[in-house]
Amino acid sequence: MRRLLADALRRIRTVCDDRVEAFADFLFKPIITGFLWGMGFGLGAFVMLVACASLAKAETIPTAAARHRAELTRCGRYAFGLSAPVATLAAQLHQESGWRADAVSPVGARGLAQFMPATSHWIAGLVPELADNAPFNPGWAMRALAEYDRWLWDRVRARDDCQRMAMALAGYNGGLGWVQRDTALARQHGADPLTWFDHVEHFNAGRTAASFRENRGYPRRILLTLEPLYMTAGWGPGVCHAR
């Protein structure tokens, strides 16, 4: 029974959105375990599963996003043309920094788009208009994010735009080389190398377990959870959901 309880808790935790993950970690051991035993295992697990699913869906667009909407649309169109997936780019910025222009991660990623210093330096050399290398400048960060996404987009192939953007986003998060190695491994094992979701995403060519989990959650959250949020709010098209 103890093993069943632990397994169920792991399943419940995967349903919870990463925005409540730390809170869930604090509660799961001392409180939720007792709750499950007290209510009866089956009923308790069901109630907690529903509660976590509700929390995961309670997404809102930060108020800071509104001031950057027009500029992001302009930057997206520079990189992708008039049909730029602006809602997808907005969802990515939401995931990266929560629209905080002064954000700095524990590992040193900076600004709205959370570029590491080496990456922002590389992008500054890639795009002449971005030569000033200013990751804390919102306009620079949005243009750089859109240009880097397009650079990755041009170097991956997939069955449709949704799968292609998922691969590009995985490259943004963890490096294009890993996407290429994971795709090759998927092909070797008979999976579809042109389909990310439920195919390439299941193959790990050598990343640590923690890096692998983060990388696989990144495109899923952006494309399947946050993109629809921004499309509904009128931010324009996305790549995985019809308007």
Are 47 and 87 in the same domain?
no
pTM across the whole model: 0.78
Are 121 and 31 in the same domain?
no
User: Which CATH number do you get for residue 174?
Assistant: 1.10.530.10
- Which range marks the domain in which residue 9 is found? 2-57
Q: Is 40 or 37 the better-scoring residue by pLDDT?
A: 40
Are 53 and 69 in the same domain?
no
Give me Rg for the CA atoms of the chain: 19
* Domain count of the fold of the chain: 2
- Per-residue pLDDT at 44 exceeds 70: no
Could you tell me the pLDDT band of residue 20, with boundaries at 50, 70 and 90?
Answer: very low
Could you tell me the pLDDT band of residue 122, with boundaries at 50, 70 and 90?
Answer: very high
Per DSSP, what are the bridge partners of residue 104? 110
Are 53 and 68 in the same domain?
no
| Domain assignment present for 223 | yes
Structure tokens at 104: 């700095």
Of 14, 39, 57, the residue that ends a domain is 57
Report the chain's terminal Cα–Cα distance, integer Å. 46
Are 228 and 120 in the same domain?
yes
Are 45 and 120 in the same domain?
no
> Comparing C-alpha atoms, which of 132, 134, 154 is closest to residue 142?
134
Are 125 and 177 in the same domain?
yes
d(CA 16, CA 22): 10
Could you tell me the pLDDT band of residue 91, with boundaries at 50, 70 and 90?
Answer: very high
d(CA 243, CA 234): 10
| Domain assignment present for 241 | no
| Domain assignment present for 13 | yes
Of 40, 57, 74, the residue that ends a domain is 57
Are 228 and 141 in the same domain?
yes
Are 38 and 91 in the same domain?
no
pLDDT value for 243: 63
pLDDT value for 40: 53
